Amino acid sequence: MNKLKIFPFLSQKIAKTSIVIAGISSSILLASPIYAATLGQNLIVNGDAEQGQGDAIGNAVGTDIPFIPGWIPTDSFSVLQYGATGFEFTNPLGNLVAVSGLPDANSSGPSVRGKNLFYGGANRGSSSASQLIDIADLASIIDAGQGSYDLSAWLGGYDTDLDNVKFSLNFLNQDGQFLDTALITSPTPDERNNTTGLLFKSTKGFVPIGARQINVALDMNYVRGRVNDGYADNLSLVITKVPEPTISGLLLVSSSCLMVCKLRRNRQILP
């Protein structure tokens, strides 16, 4: 279970910064509380959106957005119930717009999906949420180059809409300085067969040496359409220790290299 380091509520500090990674701009909220890491467990707090109350309609904005435990949200980032009824609104041109067909139990997505999923929000604009994970307790493993991470999530969108999701890790040193990043993105409408739903995405790698914190960021990018139809569920980040090579394994590799070198020499000697 994730362990929360307790800080007085009034002393919490939130700082927003922007970085550009491979041409992608990302806004990061850095804030306490910080959640501590344990090997082999999902480090993301409330990664399945099941804590707290989900929006049963899909129209919550401002102070009507349900509280989302574990996350620092921006703009209209929200939690939606599967099978939300949808709603109608009048756009600036005076046209009545119906928001329907939101993800439900029959939409593509995780087989174990619970009641809720993360939602870009009822406003026509981008939104995001983040949380900060303390990995200082894993420093000896990370600095030995043995800290392997597995990042995964179910990400998706609506019908042919181009609204999309970026789920990223930003590795920071003990001073909060950026070291490296890893990310996965939602499938395109074509990859979803132009249907509403979520698909499984994942990536793996090694935690950079010197990393002591990970800022987890979920960016819901609005492109156009009725609302921000970025969807995400079952977010997971697991760090494991990669074992050092055994003596027998090293001997096997060494023997293989010697055999290859010998074969190459023999080929050169042949007329």
Q: Residue 243: its pLDDT value, please?
A: 87
Give the Å distances, CA to CA, from 98 to 38, 69, 86, 218.
45, 30, 8, 26
Q: Residue 244: its pLDDT value, please?
A: 72
Decide if 166 contacts 133 (C-beta within 8 A).
Answer: no
Q: Residue 3: its pLDDT value, please?
A: 38
Q: Is residue 261 part of a domain?
A: no
Q: Residue 264: its pLDDT value, please?
A: 54
Q: Is residue 268 part of a domain?
A: no
Q: What range defines the domain where residue 21 resides? A: 3-245
Q: Is residue 195 part of a domain?
A: yes
Decide if 204 contacts 150 (C-beta within 8 A).
Answer: yes
Close Cβ partners of 20 (under 8 Å, ≥ 6 residues apart): 26
CATH of the domain at 120: 2.60.120.260
Q: Residue 35: its pLDDT value, please?
A: 84
Q: Is residue 211 part of a domain?
A: yes
Torsions phi, psi for 94 (to 5 deg) = 85, 10
Q: Is residue 265 part of a domain?
A: no
Residue 44, Cα to own-chain centre: how many angstroms? 9
Q: Is residue 84 part of a domain?
A: yes
Q: Residue 164: its pLDDT value, please?
A: 98
The tally of domains found in the chain comes to 1
DSSP labels, the chain: --EEPP--GGG--EEEEEEEETTEEEEEEEES-EEEP-TTSB--TTTTS-SSPPBSSS---GGGSPP-TT-EEETT-EEEETT---EEEE-TTS-EEEE-----TTSBS-SS--SEEEEEESSSS-EEEEEEEE-GGGHHHHHTT-EEEEEEEEEEE-TT---EEEEEEEEE-TTS-EEEEEEEEPPPTTTTTTSSEEEEEEEEEEPPTT--EEEEEEEEE--SSSSEEEEEEEEEEEEEEPPPPPHHHHHHHHHHHHHHHHHHHHHHH--
Q: Residue 5: its pLDDT value, please?
A: 36
**The model's pTM:** 0.80
Q: Residue 51: its pLDDT value, please?
A: 96
Q: Residue 255: its pLDDT value, please?
A: 52
Q: Is residue 23 part of a domain?
A: yes
Q: Is residue 92 part of a domain?
A: yes
Q: What is the pLDDT along the chain (271 residues), one digit of tens a residue?
A: 443 433 333 333 344 444 444 444 444 554 445 888 999 999 999 999 999 999 999 999 999 999 999 999 999 999 999 999 999 999 888 999 999 999 999 999 999 999 999 999 999 999 999 999 999 999 999 999 999 999 999 999 999 999 999 999 999 999 999 999 999 999 999 999 999 999 999 999 999 999 999 999 999 999 999 999 999 999 999 999 998 755 444 444 445 455 545 545 555 544 5
Indicate the Cα dihedral angle 22, 25, 27, 28, nearest 10°.
10
